[in-house]
């Protein structure tokens, strides 16, 4: 996929369920890089109707797909219906973006620098190094709630390009209406604390994958309002080792760590 992991959830569902017709393809583990460099410029993908950014540096990404009649209604009405549906979602995304812009003061770059330094993980590679872009993902779910994740987009250019996302869903949630008014001091501190811990987990996942330690333990089907908000798709992934009871799962373009209370898991087909 050409954009970061959450940008096309319908495509994620289709790709995940493709195992019904043939063997699914999962994100390949990264090979040894020439080094790592922090991509401080933020995400560079174009905005689409379900996605926007809540800060000027594009280190806070917002995902919402509410509006219109849903994917099924759009398809039933043909191309014009799909377009109208997308426009309705885009309108909601724009309104939410205006109301939430600047409300989440998580300095993703500084947080990654801090956790990388604590882990002894160098981010001073040169031009040939793999680039790591940290970002806070904000997802609108049912009941006008906002959920959060700390994510790392890792990209390699050159003759053998590779990209993957490593993401930890946070336990912090907040009502959208409350966030629009501005987080209270206690909530702001809680989000910053959880975001830093989330970046540490995401970095650990990447390092484990780089070392070949994220060995698949079979396939699972899972449902997650965070990974697939609004539309409760049953997704297919590879279960990976965990140490805290979370579901660690590899999809076709990402590795997620999802808290046990926020995901439903079934054995793989």
pLDDT per residue of the chain (269 residues) written in tens, 0 to 9: 334 433 334 444 444 444 445 688 999 999 999 999 999 888 987 667 789 999 999 999 999 988 765 544 444 444 444 445 577 788 889 999 999 999 998 999 999 999 999 999 999 998 899 999 999 999 999 999 999 999 999 999 888 899 999 999 999 999 999 999 999 999 999 999 999 999 999 999 999 999 999 999 999 999 999 998 887 788 999 999 998 899 999 999 999 999 998 999 986 55
Whether 228 and 8 have beta carbons less than 8 Å apart is answered as: no
Give dist(CA 257, CA 246) in Å, integer: 6
| pTM recorded for the entire structure | 0.87
Distance of CA 237 to the CA centre of its chain: 15
CB atoms within 10 A of CB 266: 11
Give dist(CA 191, CA 195) in Å, integer: 6
In a domain, 114, yes or no: yes
Give dist(CA 33, CA 130) in Å, integer: 6
In a domain, 93, yes or no: no
Give the pLDDT confidence score for residue 256 in this predicted structure: 98
In a domain, 74, yes or no: no
Give the pLDDT confidence score for residue 3 in this predicted structure: 42
**Count of domains in the chain?**
1
Please give the residue range of the domain that contains residue 149: 5-64+104-267
In a domain, 96, yes or no: no
Give the pLDDT confidence score for residue 158 in this predicted structure: 84
Give the pLDDT confidence score for residue 85 in this predicted structure: 58
In a domain, 95, yes or no: no
């Amino acid at each position: 996929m050409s954009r970061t992991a959450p940008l096309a959830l319908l495509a994620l569902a289709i790709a995940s369920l493709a195992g019904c017709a043939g063997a699914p393809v999962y994100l390949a583990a990264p090979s040894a890089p020439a080094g790592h460099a922090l991509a401080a410029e933020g995400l560079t993908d174009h905005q689409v109707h379900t996605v926007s950014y809540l800060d000027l540096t594009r280190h806070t990404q917002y995902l919402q797909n509410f509006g219109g009649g849903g994917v099924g209604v759009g398809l039933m009405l043909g191309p014009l219906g799909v377009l109208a549906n997308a426009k309705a979602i885009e309108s909601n995304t724009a309104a939410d973006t205006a109301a939430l812009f600047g409300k989440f003061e998580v300095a993703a770059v500084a947080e990654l620098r801090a956790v990388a330094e604590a882990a002894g993980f160098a981010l001073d590679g040169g031009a040939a190094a793999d680039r790591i872009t940290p970002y806070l993902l904000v997802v609108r779910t049912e009941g006008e709630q906002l959920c959060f994740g700390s994510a790392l987009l890792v990209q390699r250019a050159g003759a053998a390009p590779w990209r993957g996302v490593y993401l930890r869903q946070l336990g912090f949630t907040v009502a959208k209406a409350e966030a629009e008014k501005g987080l209270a001091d206690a909530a702001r501190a809680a989000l910053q604390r959880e975001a830093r811990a989330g970046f540490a987990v995401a970095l650990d996942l990447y390092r484990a994958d780089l070392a070949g330690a994220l060995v698949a333990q079979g396939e699972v089907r899972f449902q997650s309002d965070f990974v697939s908000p609004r539309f409760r798709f049953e997704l297919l992934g590879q279960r990976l080792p965990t140490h805290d009871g979370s579901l660690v799962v590899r999809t076709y373009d990402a590795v997620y760590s999802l808290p046990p209370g926020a995901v439903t898991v079934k054995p793989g087909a």
